[in-house]
Structure 1
């Protein structure tokens, strides 16, 4: 891998629904890889019915970094069944559901792709601050803004005996040699099991535990491999 695009994305609210919740939807603390694929597809104009085929793990590399502390709130939303009424003004029945939302969410996304055309298209849209569809953070009502950070060279590093600073969230793979050095000053470390890859019919093909520090601080860790960018950041792809 030679080049990695980095861009920041943020919004007042975000919701990345946990797959095991139904009537009271809960949200992941960071966007799953599958949600990031949808966000990038919206920016460059790939239809939601086909974008998953463009972002399989053998084609696209994606990492995510927390830029603001994880804050969660619960708000009630009125859900309506738009399939049963031809006009919005005729809808009478509403179901009120309490959603768990991320408040003031902000993330940095790192992206590389084997297809040069798709990679360059995203680079063009980001640098011009343009998007084909409206980008959002999980749900269509949570509109997102974004800003291009830069394009960086990357180098694969093999894990050593030393602990290193990792700036992104870290996938915790089975049988990995990951070790985390917990901050003596009180870092808040969590892991969540996120969907990583989906088939075109939206069947989840892979889940993975992903570790992160709740306030967006780097994680000091020993791990098998990581990528070092020429701006000094170290990341691990989901």
Structure 2
């Protein structure tokens, strides 16, 4: 299979947890649903029109954090917008102050957030369109038929680089490897962390959304526990299925 990989980078990120209300909590990594929306936006597909084409059956995605990250909480002043004609300019007196959780690099002064994303689509025409958009990238920008790149929230602007097109082989048997990507917990047989190297790993479990239906409701298989190493290192594990890429990386699809 042909797999497209790229790096999604920015100074900070916010991937709002779907159950957040008064406090805007964030996932450590972009959920699969966010990545699907981002790719669809680059292709110029309107919101709510891409869910079927990017379903779990048709589109395979893997995600990794490539630099050490942490979270911080900041208070944000939101506008109370009741009328689009007069309230969007900030002239009204009432502001709603809301705590927002941001994902930032361990050293925000000289580093940035860096996620690596792998994608494969079963439909050749969509895969070719994604490849065409990414191969149109020049030195410091990329081609988009729709939205610009943001790491969750619109004000967390980011950029794409490190684009690769790789051949991969699906391994549908139990294998013990070093995995570059986050791993769905249900695929893990055992974590193989050497006690002498425990300091290298900060492996956390997060429950992240993977798929919405046309009503923007999470599907029966669209919410999974995922293991993420936020220290940017790989995860040594024994899993029941994975993909081996030609550059010797091992990844696990979020499915």
Task: Determine if the TM-score, normalized by the shorter chain, exceeds 0.5.
Answer: yes
* Structure 2 equivalent of residue 222 of structure 1: 238
Deviates more, 1:214-223 or 1:13-22: 13-22
Give secondary structure in 2 for the equivalent of 1:163: strand
What is the TM-score normalised by the length of structure 2?
Answer: 0.87
Distance 1:183 1:93, change over 3 A: farther
Instruction: Tell me by how many angstroms 1:169 deviates.
Output: 0.3
Shift of 1:91: 3.0
Following the alignment from structure 1 to structure 2, what is the Cα–Cα distance between the partners of residues 134 and 177? 35
Displacement of 1:65: 1.2
Task: Work out the CA distance in 2 between the residues paired with 1:83 and 1:131.
Answer: 32
Pair 1:18–1:150, CA change in 2 (3 A) = same
Alignment equivalent of 2:190, drawn from 159, 179, 198? 179
Q: Which runs of 5+ in 1 are unaligned?
A: none
1:119 is aligned to: 127
Residue 98 (1) aligns with residue 114 (2): no
* 1:20 counterpart residue number: 19
After superposition, give the CA deviation of every residue in 1:7-55 in whole Å (9 maximum; x if it has no partner). 1101112111122321111111111110111111111111112122220
RMSD: 1.5
Give distance in 2, aligned partners of 1:178 and 1:196: 21
- Per the TM alignment, residue 105 of structure 1 is displaced from its structure 2 partner at its CA by 2.0
Distance across 2 between alignment mates of 1:224 and 1:166: 13
- Show the counterpart of 2:4: 5
Structure 2: state its 5+ residue gaps.
105-111, 137-141
2:225 aligns to what? 209
Pairing 1:109–2:113 present: no
The structural deviation recorded for 1:210 is 0.4
Displacement after TM superposition at 1:148 (Å)? 4.3
Q: Is the 8 A contact 1:126 1:147 kept in 2?
A: no
| Maintained 8 Å contact 1:194/1:209 | yes
* Farther off after superposition, 213-222 or 140-149: 140-149
- CA gap 1:37/1:177 in 2 versus in 1, 3 angstroms: closer
Normalising to structure 1: TM-score of the pair? 0.93
Runs of 4+ in 1 over 6 A off after TM superposition: none
Offset at residue 122 of structure 1 (A): 1.2
Worse-matched range after superposition: 3-12 or 17-26: 17-26
Residue pair 1:18, 1:25 contacting (<8 A) in 2 also: yes
Cα deviation, residue 111, structure 1: 0.5
Alignment: residue pair count: 234
